[in-house]
């Protein structure tokens, strides 16, 4: 009896052998390791993966994976990935981008890939700074931030990535941190859920740039604070957090969200996470440290037809209606006449 043997991989099988050139201590290393682990855990042969990136520190990512890959141009990875996706529906397309690449120069492509529900994973490494160009503020940098290009402080209002993509109609929105030295590291679970999602899966990953913006997310990743500043969201579970698991999110009498002590309210007053609730998801994306804990995990998920499902459906429909086109048909359609 023959059986189809599924590949069994170790994370190391996904290493390309190229020297990894990120700065020592960069958060990208942890993300690369987590991605390799997730890829190795799936029943997908590695030749099916195409990693596409733009420009920036994070965009070097495809070089370090032994899959197919395109290191594209600044901001355009979603558009390039759109071409890959439409050409071959059997591939698994992952986009690696950063806060500058994906939200500044590439914001437009991000918006449209998402609204089309293009079947691809988009991992946005948010380090709230421009690393590769050596330290200018980015679209996610906090206001008043002093950087090389803003000696008096940035006057820009930052963009909120998860809120933005929800507004674009994203069908999967999640957030994680590169490392977690305090609470649960949700990155593996989030990456796996993204990998299995059909449609655009957007994952924001808080990433430490330890050269130009070190400690930007330490509030969310360090032992002392992680449990107090983040909440691990799980479908069907209340939003409980805190060093002693004693805090939760509830809606007060005025309809506003507030942080409560679990002992002060009855369990049925606690808000419970519902992945399929878009309004709730938007509310979650607006919860910012220090007023609120920041949600980590799968914030929103729904199932919708993907762009290429619809694209192929139209092609098949046309073939059914007109039959497979031939050159004879093509040339002689419309009015023709014969010269003897």
Partner 1 sequence: MVSDAASSSTPTHQDLQSVAIRFCGDSGDGMQFAGTEFTNTSVMFGNEVVTFPDYPAEIRAPLGTTYGVSGFQIQFSSSEIYTPGDNVQVLIAMNPAGLKVNIEDVEPGGIVIVNKDAFTPGNVKKAGYTDNPLKDGSLAHYHVCKVPVTRLTKESLVDSGMGGKAIGQAKNMFMLGLVYWLYDRSLEQTIRALTEFFGEKKKKPRVAEMNVAALKAGYFFGETAELFPVRYRVSRAKQEPGTYRKIAGNQATALGLITAAQLAKKPLFYGSYPITPASDILHALSTYKHFGVKTVQLEDEIAAMCSLIGASFAGDIAVTATSGPGMALKTEAIGLGVIMELPMVIVNVQRAGPSTGLPTKTEQSDLLQAVHGRNAETPLIVLAARGPGDCFTTAIESVRLALKYMTPVVMLTDGYIANGAGPWRIPDPADLLPIEVAHPTERNHEIDGKPVYAPYLRDEHLARPWALPGTPGLEHRIGGLEKMDVSGDVSYDAENHQHMVDARAAKIAKAADDFPPIELNGRDTGDVLLVGWGGTFGAIYTAAQRLVDEGHRVTSIHLRHLNPLPNGLGDILRGFKKVVVPELNRGQLRMLLRAEYLVDAIGINKVQGRPFLVSELVDRVKEILSED
**Footprint on this chain of ligand SF4 (rule: CB under 6 A):** 22-23, 26, 28, 57, 127, 131, 209-212
Angle at which helix 77-87 crosses helix 307-322, to 10 degrees, equals 40
The smaller minimum CB distance to partner 1, of residues 43 and 321, is found at: 321
Which of positions 297-326 make contact with partner 1 (CB under 8 A)? 311, 314-315, 317-319, 321-326
Residue 39 interacting with partner 1 (CB under 8 A): no
Which of positions 52-91 make contact with partner 1 (CB under 8 A)? 52-53, 55, 62-63, 65-73, 76, 79-88, 90-91
Map tokens 């209340």 to a residue. Answer: 238
The verdict on whether omega for the bond into residue 213 sits within 30 degrees of 0, i.e. cis, is no
Residue 302 backbone dihedrals phi, psi, to 5 degrees = -145, 160
Map tokens 């679970």 to a residue. Answer: 189
Rounded CA separation 170/116 (Å): 9
The smaller minimum CB distance to partner 1, of residues 21 and 148, is found at: 21
To the nearest whole angstrom, how small is the minimum distance from the Cβ of residue 28 to ligand SF4? Answer: 5
To the nearest whole angstrom, how small is the minimum distance from the Cβ of residue 55 to partner 1? Answer: 8
The smaller minimum CB distance to ligand SF4, of residues 132 and 287, is found at: 132
Write the CA distances from 330 to 176, 313, 326, 340, integer angstroms. 52, 21, 6, 22
**Please, are residues 159 and 124 in contact by the beta-carbon 8 Å criterion?**
no
Rounded CA separation 70/50 (Å): 8
Coil/strand/helix, residue 96 = strand
Q: Which of 8, 157, 266, 335 binds partner 1 (CB under 8 A)?
A: 335
Q: Find the distance separating the first CA and the last CA of the chain, reported in whole Å.
A: 65
Q: Which does 322 bind (CB under 5 to 8 A by kind): ligand SF4, partner 1, none?
A: partner 1
Q: Can you give the binding site for partner 1, defined by CB under 8 A?
A: 16, 18, 45-53, 55, 62-63, 65-73, 76, 79-88, 90-91, 108-109, 111-112, 311, 314-315, 317-319, 321-328, 330-332, 334-340
């Amino acid at each position: 009896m023959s059986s189809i043997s599924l590949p069994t991989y170790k994370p190391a099988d996904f290493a390309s052998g190229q020297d990894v050139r990120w700065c020592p201590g960069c958060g990208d290393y942890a993300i690369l390791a987590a991605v390799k682990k997730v890829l190795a855990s799936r029943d997908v042969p590695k030749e099916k993966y195409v990693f596409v990136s733009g420009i920036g520190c994070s965009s070097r990512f495809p070089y370090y994976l032994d899959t197919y890959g395109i290191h594209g141009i600044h901001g355009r990875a979603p558009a390039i990935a759109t071409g890959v996706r439409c050409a071959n529906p059997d591939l698994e397309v992952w986009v690696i981008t950063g806060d500058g690449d994906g939200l500044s120069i590439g914001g437009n492509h991000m918006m449209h890939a998402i609204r089309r529900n293009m079947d691809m994973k988009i991992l946005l490494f948010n380090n709230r700074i421009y690393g590769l160009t050596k330290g200018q503020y980015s679209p996610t940098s906090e206001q008043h931030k002093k950087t090389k290009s803003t000696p008096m402080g940035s006057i820009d209002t930052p963009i909120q990535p998860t809120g933005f993509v929800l507004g674009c109609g994203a069908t999967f929105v999640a957030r994680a941190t590169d490392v977690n030295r305090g609470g649960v590291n949700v990155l593996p679970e989030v990456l796996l859920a993204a990998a299995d999602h059909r449609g655009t899966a957007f994952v924001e990953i808080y990433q430490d740039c330890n050269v130009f913006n070190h400690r930007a997310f330490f509030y969310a990743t360090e032992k002392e604070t992680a449990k107090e500043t983040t909440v691990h969201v799980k479908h069907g579970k209340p939003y409980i957090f805190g060093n002693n698991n004693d805090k939760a999110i509830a809606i007060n009498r005025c309809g506003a969200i507030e942080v409560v002590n679990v002992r002060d309210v009855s369990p049925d007053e606690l808000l419970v996470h519902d992945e399929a609730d878009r309004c709730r998801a938007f509310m979650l994306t607006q919860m910012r440290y220090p007023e609120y804990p920041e949600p980590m995990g799968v914030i929103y998920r729904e199932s919708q037809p993907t762009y290429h499902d619809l694209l192929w459906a139209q092609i098949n429909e046309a073939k059914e209606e007109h039959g497979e086109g031939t050159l004879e048909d093509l040339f002689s359609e419309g009015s023709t006449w014969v010269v003897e």
